[in-house]
Amino acid sequence: MIAHDGTPVDRIWTADSLLLAAGARFDVLVQGGPAGRTQLQTLAYETGPGGNSFPKATLATLDSEGRTAHPVTMPTSSFGPTQDLSHAPIATRRTVVFSENKEGTKFYINGKQFDPDRVDMRAKLNTVEEWTVRNDSG
């Protein structure tokens, strides 16, 4: 795994399986195996009482054939620079509250109905912000 939600990880790591939350993204490097067929599968997953139910499914199938190539060395460190912001001055602190109506058909951010064409918060370039995100919905 080399990146999470488009951001390079501090340390590249290897796993045979990953837990990927809804809406999240992982960038991974995959090294092919011996000749044959390999499937990338999801396992059945429940996100909780107010959430979703995902069945087991095949996402992709890799067919390997032909002459075997020598494996390349997989990276072991980060691809991108990392910067420790834990001691940087905080320019702005924000609280972001997600909520919904009783029917679960309208969604709100800080009391305003979600509108993908509206921007309510803008961060200033080259500053550090601290966000508290709270989900008051089911």
- Provide the pLDDT confidence category of residue 113 given band limits of 50, 70 and 90: very high
Domain boundaries, the chain: 3-64, 90-135
Q: What is the reported pLDDT for 80? A: 65
Q: What is the pLDDT of residues 48-66, one digit of tens each?
A: 777 788 899 998 888 888 8
39 C-beta neighbours (distance < 10 Å), count: 10
Q: What is the pLDDT of residues 65-98, one digit of tens each?
A: 888 888 788 777 766 667 788 999 999 999 999 9
pTM, two decimal places: 0.53
Query: Is 26:43 a contact under the CB 8 Å cutoff?
Result: no
Structure tokens at 63: 């067919």
Cα of 75 vs its chain's centroid, Å: 21
Distance CA 133, CA 131 (A): 6
pLDDT at 128 over 90: yes
Structure tokens at 2: 């080399």
pLDDT at 122 over 70: yes
**Residue 13 is which amino acid?**
W
Average pLDDT score over residue span 18-45:
83
pLDDT at 118 over 70: yes
User: What residue has token string 């992982």?
Assistant: 26
Average pLDDT score over residue span 100-122:
94
Q: What is the reported pLDDT for 49? A: 79
Q: What is the reported pLDDT for 78? A: 67
Question: What three-state secondary structure class fits 18?
Answer: coil
